[in-house]
């Protein structure tokens, strides 16, 4: 298998992102070995206190073994060095996978020539400069077949762009000026048409540069939880150091002074080497697992925070419901015919390029035989675009009888417009709106105002929403994990409630403006909760920045991508749920291996203590419950086991422990069962098995 984020679009479709990352590529191990040896540099090792102690111990035993050589001394020495190398190997392998991804990315960073517009938009004069010479705010023109020289926003034109280099997705995407699909990434290729791009990043700080740094682990810093765990591990290490150092005078008094080799072996066996060796690999692999799902986390801290999330803000459209709503029916108000309503609805939607708007025009044509009028047909028409604030769109026609205004939009907004313009909203309209909402649909109210006559409501357009399959089960899972889901929608409260109930979310925020969203996040955070959300538009940027986990869609604007702490290259908002699971899995892996590591010590004591002291206190032979062959074979077996268990657990560290969404109690019971009880039992079996082999080594029997 390939563990890389492959740019070959033919292989990697949208569904193939679930990568079985647990398997270890033997080639990768071989490739990582030199790096693992390089990491023996004490200046590097000292950052990992547990393994640093092992390295110092290895040096001490090496000196002892040289001073008084024996098979036992050299066996212990060799295996201690191997323990250190194995620990470095875990980290090197984890980093190696990232490096492979970085190399692929780097290939896309070919030195492109940029066509800089010197005085845009006043003139189209251009000059050729190297891509690296581009500065923030420069304008460049890119045409079909050319590579976009840097990150930026499209300011003129529309083009289809091949972004497979970054997303692995072969289908081209549309990038156009204005709106929320204006961001382009350096290194991607324009397939058709011509666009002008305003450069939004300094050279060397582009999105690809940051991606490379992230997957390579160059920007990696220890996360808060990793630091806390490191402190605990360091203190355990100190306790065991003290226990072993002070053991020597006690042993001397008992008449059994121990050799340096045995004392070092005891220290290494006791300190939590397993988790110490794998800790950083677990962190790197966590980021890596995200990358394999095409999510880029800007920091390890964000991945950890994902595991802690209490509240998920999910946009209804695209996340909870399938794509877009479709117009299903025109429901006229009293005294209005369906045809009248259809006509007005069509009129108001002509300039509305949203899928909903298009579906209204289609319904008017198919259901009511209204011919689609081209925008140009209507002279003196002023199109009123939809904004998040007015939440209405429509048209103003300058007709002979006076100004003819048509509006359609959310019930609340249009009603306000009608009352503001002297009209009143009848009870029948409210009934229609409530009826549609109660049925889970979205009502769009259509109203018009002719000249100086008061505005009146013509009727309601019934937009239907389809909830994605399997969402209810997903939300049930999240609830069991203790995560509250809040659906964010621009719909009115009734509509929102119907969909929320159908989808099974815990709460909803209806008629949401970006300000509402922001307020909700702040309110949750004030209660001590961590909030995750997705967003793509520029108006999402403040909320993305405020959220603890803000996942920006790759299709979104540069501003949104800058504000969030993760970017989803697939632009799939449902992935937020997976991100949370990966965050949890990362923490669980750390906890499980810590538990395993500490539980292992019990068996090692039963191997080493009788080996050390059964000579002077024969009663201690009873502690040799494993029936190990001899003192030397017992100590060697414990050390060999200690080293091998690191290698054995590298795949688990990289893959992460199995995680099934469930409540805390059952998760804990399950993991204590596997890693706690398992950690007690496995080494008894393992050490005994190794002893059965080691006892035949001459010099160790």
Residue with smaller CB distance to another protein, 240 or 330: 240
State the pairing for strand pair 484-488/507-509. Answer: parallel
Query: Is 73 annotated in some ligand binding site?
Result: no
Report the nearest approach of another protein to the CB of residue 641 (Å): 17
Name residues contacting another protein, limited to 218-277 (CB under 8 A). 224-225, 227-229, 231-232, 234-235, 238-240, 242-254, 266, 270
Report the nearest approach of another protein to the CB of residue 549 (Å): 13
Using DSSP, state whether 386 is helix, strand or coil: coil
Q: Residue 174's CB: how many other CB atoms inside 10 A?
A: 12
Report the nearest approach of another protein to the CB of residue 658 (Å): 12
Residue with smaller CB distance to another protein, 204 or 527: 527
| Binding-residue total with another protein (CB under 8 A) | 73
Query: Is 536 annotated in some ligand binding site?
Result: yes
* Residue 144 binds another protein (CB under 8 A): no
Spatial contact of 289 and 296, defined as CB atoms under 8 Å apart: no
Name residues contacting another protein, limited to 570-599 (CB under 8 A). 583-585, 587-588, 590-592, 594-595, 598-599
Q: Residue 618's CB: how many other CB atoms inside 10 A?
A: 10
Name residues contacting another protein, limited to 512-551 (CB under 8 A). 527-529
- For another protein, what does the binding mask look like between residues 430 and 469, x meaning CB under 8 A? ----------------------------------------
Cα distance between residue 200 and residue 149, in whole Å? 11
Q: What is the DSSP string of 272-320?
A: -HHHHHHHHHHHHHHHHHHHHTTEEES-HHHHHHHHH--EEEEEIIIII
Q: What is the DSSP string of 220-273?
A: ----HHHHHHHHHHHHHHHHHHHHHHTHHHHHHHHT-PPPHHHHHHHHHHHS-H
Cα distance between residue 97 and residue 93, in whole Å? 6
Residue with smaller CB distance to another protein, 10 or 526: 526
Distances from the Cα of 145 to the Cαs of 195, 199, 228, 329, in angstroms?
Answer: 12, 19, 51, 45
Query: Is 393 annotated in some ligand binding site?
Result: yes
Q: Which of 139-147, 155-163, 466-474, 668-676 is the region at the interface with another protein (rule: CB under 8 A)?
A: 668-676
Query: Is 540 annotated in some ligand binding site?
Result: yes
Query: Is 210 annotated in some ligand binding site?
Result: no
Kindly give, in sequence order, each residue whose CB lies less than 8 Å from that of residue 353, ignoring residues fewer than 6 positions away: none
Query: Is 252 annotated in some ligand binding site?
Result: no
Sole binder of another protein in the list 25, 35, 126, 308 (CB under 8 A): 308
Residue with smaller CB distance to another protein, 497 or 670: 670
Cα distance between residue 293 and residue 267, in whole Å? 41
Name residues contacting another protein, limited to 314-333 (CB under 8 A). none
* Residue 307 binds another protein (CB under 8 A): yes
Cα distance between residue 179 and residue 623, in whole Å? 74
Going by C-alpha positions, the residue among 176, 282, 264 that lies closest to residue 594 is: 282
Question: Which active-site residues does the annotation give?
Answer: 315
Report the nearest approach of another protein to the CB of residue 593 (Å): 9
Residue with smaller CB distance to another protein, 417 or 641: 641
Report the nearest approach of another protein to the CB of residue 374 (Å): 55
Query: Is 508 annotated in some ligand binding site?
Result: no
Residue with smaller CB distance to another protein, 81 or 641: 641
Name residues contacting another protein, limited to 210-229 (CB under 8 A). 224-225, 227-229
The token duo for 438 is 């109660």
Cα distance between residue 186 and residue 12, in whole Å? 21
Sole binder of another protein in the list 617, 685, 692, 693 (CB under 8 A): 617
Spatial contact of 83 and 268, defined as CB atoms under 8 Å apart: yes
Query: Is 388 annotated in some ligand binding site?
Result: yes
* Residue 171 binds another protein (CB under 8 A): no
Sole binder of another protein in the list 153, 304, 536, 562 (CB under 8 A): 304
Residue with smaller CB distance to another protein, 369 or 627: 627
Cα distance between residue 236 and residue 226, in whole Å? 15
Report the nearest approach of another protein to the CB of residue 254 (Å): 5
Report the nearest approach of another protein to the CB of residue 607 (Å): 12
Q: Which of 75-83, 419-427, 508-516, 671-679 is the region at the interface with another protein (rule: CB under 8 A)?
A: 671-679
Q: Residue 353: how many CA atoms within 13 Å on its side-chain side?
A: 4
Cα angle 493, 475, 295 (rounded to 5 degrees) comes to 105
Residue 518 CA, chain-centre distance (Å), reads 21
Query: Is 387 annotated in some ligand binding site?
Result: yes
What end-to-end distance do the CA atoms of the chain give, in Å?
43
Sole binder of another protein in the list 145, 376, 470, 619 (CB under 8 A): 619
Query: Is 101 annotated in some ligand binding site?
Result: no
Residue with smaller CB distance to another protein, 244 or 341: 244
Spatial contact of 59 and 72, defined as CB atoms under 8 Å apart: no
Report the nearest approach of another protein to the CB of residue 136 (Å): 37
Cα distance between residue 642 and residue 269, in whole Å? 7
Spatial contact of 208 and 187, defined as CB atoms under 8 Å apart: yes
Residue with smaller CB distance to another protein, 72 or 613: 613
* Residue 486 binds another protein (CB under 8 A): no
Query: Is 637 annotated in some ligand binding site?
Result: no
Distances from the Cα of 546 to the Cαs of 305, 408, 431, 565, in angstroms?
Answer: 13, 33, 39, 10
Residue with smaller CB distance to another protein, 383 or 605: 605
Kindly calculate the radius of gyration of the chain based on its CA atoms and give it in whole angstroms.
Answer: 33
Query: Is 487 annotated in some ligand binding site?
Result: no
Sole binder of another protein in the list 145, 469, 622, 627 (CB under 8 A): 622
Report the nearest approach of another protein to the CB of residue 665 (Å): 6
Report the nearest approach of another protein to the CB of residue 338 (Å): 50
Give the annotated binding-site residues for Mg(2+): 536, 540
Give the annotated binding-site residues for ATP: 352, 356, 386-393, 408
């Amino acid at each position: 298998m390939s563990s890389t984020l492959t740019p070959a679009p033919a292989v990697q479709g949208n569904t193939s992102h679930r990568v079985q990352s647990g398997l270890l590529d033997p080639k990768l191990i071989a490739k990582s070995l030199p790096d693992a040896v390089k990491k023996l540099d004490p200046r590097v090792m000292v950052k990992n206190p547990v393994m640093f102690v092992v390295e110092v111990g290895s040096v001490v035993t090496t000196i002892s073994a040289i001073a008084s050589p024996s098979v036992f001394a050299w066996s212990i020495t060799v295996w201690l060095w191997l323990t250190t190398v194995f620990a470095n190997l875990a980290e090197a392998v984890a980093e190696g996978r990232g490096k492979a991804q970085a190399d692929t990315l780097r290939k896309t960073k070919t030195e492109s020539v940029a066509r800089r517009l010197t005085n845009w938009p006043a003139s189209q004069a251009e000059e050729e400069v190297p891509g690296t010479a581009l500065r923030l705010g420069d304008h460049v023109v890119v045409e079909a077949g050319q590579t976009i020289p840097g990150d930026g926003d499209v300011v003129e034109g529309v083009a289809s762009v091949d972004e497979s280099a970054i997303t692995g997705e072969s289908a081209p995407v549309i990038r156009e000026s204005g709106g929320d699909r204006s961001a382009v990434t350096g290194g991607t290729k324009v397939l058709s048409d011509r666009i002008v791009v305003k450069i939004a990043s300094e050279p060397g700080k582009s999105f690809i540069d940051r991606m490379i740094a992230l997957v390579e682990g160059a920007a990696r810093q220890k996360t808060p939880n990793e630091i806390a765990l490191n402190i605990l591990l360091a203190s355990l290490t100190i306790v065991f150091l003290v226990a072993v150092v002070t053991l020597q005078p006690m042993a001397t008094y008992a008449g059994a002074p121990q050799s340096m080799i045995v004392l070092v072996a005891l220290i290494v066996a006791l300190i939590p080497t397993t988790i110490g060796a794998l800790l950083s690999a677990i962190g790197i692999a966590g980021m890596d697992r995200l990358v394999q799902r095409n999510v880029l986390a800007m920091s390890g801290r964000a991945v950890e925070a994902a595991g802690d999330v209490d509240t998920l803000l999910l946009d209804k459209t695209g996340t909870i419901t399938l794509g877009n709503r479709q117009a299903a029916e025109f429901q006229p108000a009293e005294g209005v015919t369906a045809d009248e309503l259809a006509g007005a609805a069509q009129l108001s939607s002509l300039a509305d390029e949203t899928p909903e708007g298009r579906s209204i025009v289609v319904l008017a044509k198919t259901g009511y035989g209204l011919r689609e009028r081209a925008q140009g047909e209507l002279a003196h028409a002023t199109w009123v675009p939809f904004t998040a604030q007015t939440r209405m769109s429509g048209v103003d026609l300058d007709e002979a009888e006076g100004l003819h205004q048509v509006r359609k939009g959310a019930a609340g907004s249009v009603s306000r417009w009608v009352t503001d313009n002297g009209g009143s909203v009848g009870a029948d309209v409210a009934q229609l709106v409530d009826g549609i909402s109660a049925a889970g649909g979205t009502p769009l109210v259509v109203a018009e105002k002719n000249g100086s006559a008061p505005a009146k409501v013509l009727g309601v357009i019934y937009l239907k929403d389809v909830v994605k399959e399997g969402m209810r089960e997903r939300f049930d899972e999240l609830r069991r994990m203790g995560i509250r889901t809040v659906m964010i929608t621009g719909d009115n409260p009734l509509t929102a409630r119907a969909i929320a109930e159908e989808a099974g979310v815990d709460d909803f925020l209806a008629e949401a403006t970006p300000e509402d969203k922001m307020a909700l996040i702040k309110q949750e955070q004030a209660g001590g909760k961590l909030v995750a959300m997705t967003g793509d538009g520029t108006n999402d940027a403040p909320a993305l920045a405020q959220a603890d986990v803000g996942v920006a869609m790759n299709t979104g604007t540069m501003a949104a991508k800058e504000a969030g702490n993760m970017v989803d290259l697939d632009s799939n908002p449902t992935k937020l749920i997976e991100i949370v699971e990966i965050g949890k899995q990362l923490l669980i892996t750390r906890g499980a291996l810590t538990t395993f590591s500490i539980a292992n010590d019990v068996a090692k004591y039963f191997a080493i203590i009788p080996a050390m002291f059964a000579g002077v206190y024969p009663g201690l032979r009873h502690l040799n419950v494993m029936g190990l062959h001899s003192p030397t074979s017992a100590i060697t077996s414990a050390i060999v086991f200690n080293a091998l268990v690191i290698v054995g657990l590298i795949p688990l560290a990289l893959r992460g422990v199995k995680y099934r969404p469930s409540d805390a109690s059952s998760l804990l019971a399950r993991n204590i069962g596997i890693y706690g009880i398992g950690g007690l039992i496995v080494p008894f079996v393992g050490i005994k098995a190794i002893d059965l082999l080691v006892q035949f080594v001459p010099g160790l029997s």
